[in-house]
Amino acid sequence: MINIKPFKALRPNPGFAKQVASRPYDVLNSAEARVEVQGNTHSFLFITKSEISMDDDINIHTQPVYDKAKENLTAFISREVLFNENKACYYIYQLIMNDRSQTGLVCVSSVDDYNNNLIKKHEFTRPEKEQDRINHIKTTGAQTGNVFLAYRNNENIDTIVEKWKSNRSAAYDFVADDGIQHTIWIVNDSEVIDEITTTFANQIPCTYIADGHHRAASAAKVREALGENATPESNYFLTTLFPSNQLQIMDYNRVVKDLNGHSVQQFLELLNEKFEVTLVGNTIVKPTALHQFGLFIGGNWYNLVSKEGTYTNDPIGILDVTILQENIFTPILNIVDQRVDKRVDFVGGIRGLQELEKRVNSGEMAAAFSLYPVTINQLFDISDSGNVMPPKSTWFEPKLRDGLLTHLIN
């Protein structure tokens, strides 16, 4: 069963919460982060992307950048922008986006559970991205990035969370610049804390990484590297757990630079072998069911529906990203590995399907594919089977903000 525990969060003084809260470090590049913090000296990006405090040409993966993150974190504490909770607590984190609400439990989860696959994965990690967060955690002594976990919804946990939300005032409640509302309650009652801990231990057999594979892997490797010097807090890592019935996975679409030497007409003829291809025209095709795709090419949208034999019923073979790979990308476009092939790029659903049109119409890309989102049950099935999803299969929104709740491991 799952081992979670409360923790003493490093968090903003209430008057600074909205200024501190920042988008996750891995959704912004350095240039975008420099723009984001203009006029806001309290942004947590000064800690998660500390290169913005340094010269533009700095190598962001060198030790001075991690040292600057530690320096900035210390400064935030000394200026009383951030303070450390005096009691280990759970935290309830609600996000509202476009009138849709989802509520998670912020806690720390066990590194041993991660290593023993009670916290299940569905993606490969990249060593260079792991190493960046390892260096950041070791230097700052802080886990600043939240790992987004899902679990099969449980009525007892729902009841505890909703009761606390209804009967307590929120510690933070603000609407960020992107229109998403962030509300956090502090669960500091010892009996309720024990009830939550026990319920997860007795009733939740496993959790699933929805977003944050690199952050989880890095936390585990930091604990391993510390060896005999590991602290009790380094045995755990920062997580927010969401019940599956509240989660929304958005589409994760593809654009390709060329047609591998084929003309548009030749490409469409080749697609006809595996798909029912229908010309739609200038109306955007947003798939409404599994195994349906939109294709934008040559100024027109086409509707594609997979024919029999284009997929299998195993957890990986039934995915639309697999159908796309095995029936179009590999045999027709000669794009064999989407992780490394520079001829393909990925567009998260939050950017809208107009972004696909824009990139093709600009001449940058030759074609774009819109996909139906992976379902949460598909993610669970793949994780349970021990398989790994193709790259860039899931896009979760809304995203948790960094800086509101940080876990110190020293």
The CA-based angle 296-297-298, given to 5 degrees, is: 135
**pLDDT surpasses 90 at 351:** no
**pLDDT surpasses 90 at 216:** yes
**pLDDT surpasses 90 at 394:** no
**pLDDT surpasses 90 at 388:** no
pLDDT at 346: 92
Question: Helix-strand-coil percent breakdown of the chain, rounded to 5?
Answer: 35, 25, 40
In this prediction, residues 381-387 reach a mean pLDDT of 91
pLDDT at 125: 86
pLDDT at 390: 82
pLDDT at 350: 84
Q: Which of 138-147, 253-262, 378-387, 400-409 has the lowest mean pLDDT?
A: 378-387
In this prediction, residues 214-232 reach a mean pLDDT of 95
In this prediction, residues 196-201 reach a mean pLDDT of 98
Residue 96's DSSP bridge partners are 101, 181
Residue 1's DSSP bridge partners are none
pLDDT at 369: 98
Q: Which of 67-71, 358-362, 370-374, 388-392 has the lowest mean pLDDT?
A: 388-392
Alpha-carbon span 212 to 242, nearest angstrom: 14
Average pLDDT over the chain reads 95
**pLDDT surpasses 90 at 288:** yes
Domains and CATH numbers, the chain: 4-249+397-408 (no CATH), 252-372 (3.30.1760)
Query: In this structure, what are the phi and psi dihedrals at residue 100, rounded to the nearest 5 degrees?
Result: -105, 130
Alpha-carbon span 281 to 256, nearest angstrom: 20
In this prediction, residues 6-11 reach a mean pLDDT of 98
pLDDT at 235: 97
In this prediction, residues 62-82 reach a mean pLDDT of 98
**pLDDT surpasses 90 at 389:** no
Higher pLDDT, 348 or 51: 51
pLDDT at 166: 97
Alpha-carbon span 178 to 93, nearest angstrom: 17
In this prediction, residues 331-337 reach a mean pLDDT of 96
**pLDDT surpasses 90 at 233:** yes
**pLDDT surpasses 90 at 127:** no
Name the band, by pLDDT with cuts 50, 70 and 90, for residue 397: confident
Q: Residue 221, CB half-sphere, CA atoms under 13 Å: how many?
A: 17
The pTM score is: 0.89
Alpha-carbon span 139 to 141, nearest angstrom: 6
